[in-house]
């Protein structure tokens, strides 16, 4: 069912699982199942897609080829990997899977905390290394947590959603510890000051709207300032002071990451990508991309 000439978008857990021909979830807040229990109708290869869901998967056994965001991954026994609404995704199962996959929505998390998920858990960011390779003890510990999470999901416990949230938090906090152990603290979270946090949150929301074709144009610094009800100069000065980068630089970096993801994950033409990202002119998009990467979009796509 792979079609690299287009990008499918699934707005919730139910839509995604229906497209993958697996299970009907209890709700669009949270879902978990074992890989080995999926129906035979399950798609072993997907098209390029994006989903308004966060998800993570543990392969205790099995293999797969994955594209997540701008990177390609070979998943194998012990791989634990993460995907977010930011990420373009594609996978091809190459050996049968045993393990777990769980999915949740931002609405589910927001019932219990207003913490920004991308900020708290760096493996969900678009440019992160989303794959952890776990050792035997880590697999055993995680298997125990996910088994308990599945039991709660399938049961009728009092305060079921609250229990799921707390067990999910333990899984994600533990994963963050492993993430820093494997990637070092070069994977720092972005500045947590109130204004910069609001700016980054709005930036990710805007790019999700672009990805789902709900945005009319690519926001400038003045657009973000207007949304935040502050002056353009105040936003620019504050962001520069807090991050060492201008707001314009940050917007450009995020735009380039999205462009790289589209170039590496799809067969959309450069003109189609320029249009997708709300550039009015393909030539300008190419110059914009080259000024940031020293490569044309075509050269970047062809680079191994």
Residue range 152-195, pLDDT digits in tens: 999 998 899 999 999 999 999 999 999 999 988 654 444 446 78
With a cut of 70, which residues of the chain have pLDDT below it? 1-6, 185-193, 304
pTM: 0.77
Given this model, what pLDDT does residue 63 score? 95
| Three-class DSSP category at 2 | coil
- What is the distance between the alpha carbons of residues 100 and 89, in angstroms, rounded to a whole number? 18
> Locate tokens 């009728």: which residue?
156
| Three-class DSSP category at 96 | strand
84 contacts 52 by C-beta, under 8 angstroms = no
- What is the distance between the alpha carbons of residues 84 and 57, in angstroms, rounded to a whole number? 12
Given this model, what pLDDT does residue 300 score? 94
């Amino acid at each position: 069912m792979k079609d690299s000439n287009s990008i499918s978008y699934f707005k919730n857990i139910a839509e995604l699982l229906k497209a993958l021909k697996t299970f009907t979830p209890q709700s669009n807040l949270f879902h978990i199942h074992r890989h080995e229990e999926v129906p035979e109708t399950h798609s072993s290869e997907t098209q390029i897609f994006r989903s308004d869901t966060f998800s993570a998967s543990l392969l205790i056994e099995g293999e797969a080829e994955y594209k997540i965001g701008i990177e390609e991954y070979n998943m194998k026994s012990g791989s634990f990997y993460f995907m977010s609404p930011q990420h373009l995704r594609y996978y091809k199962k190459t050996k049968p899977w045993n393990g777990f996959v769980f999915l949740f929505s931002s609405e589910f998390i927001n019932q219990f905390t207003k913490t920004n998920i991308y900020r708290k858990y760096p493996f969900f960011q678009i440019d992160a290394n989303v794959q952890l390779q776990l050792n035997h003890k880590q697999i055993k510990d995680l298997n125990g947590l996910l088994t308990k999470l599945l039991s709660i999901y399938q049961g009728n416990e009092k305060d079921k959603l609250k229990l799921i949230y707390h067990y999910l938090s333990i899984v994600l906090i533990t994963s963050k510890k492993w993430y820093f152990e494997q990637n070092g603290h070069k994977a720092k979270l972005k500045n947590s000051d109130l204004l910069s946090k609001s700016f980054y949150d709005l930036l990710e929301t805007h790019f999700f709207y672009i990805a789902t074709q709900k945005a009319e144009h690519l926001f400038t610094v003045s657009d973000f300032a207007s949304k935040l009800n502050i002056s353009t100069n105040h936003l620019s000065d504050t962001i520069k002071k807090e991050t060492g980068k201008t707001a314009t630089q940050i917007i450009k970096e995020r735009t380039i990451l999205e462009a790289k993801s589209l170039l590496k994950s799809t067969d959309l033409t450069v003109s189609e990508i320029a249009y997708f990202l709300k550039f009015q002119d393909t030539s300008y998009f190419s110059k914009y991309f080259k000024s940031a990467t020293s490569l044309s979009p075509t050269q970047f796509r062809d680079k191994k």
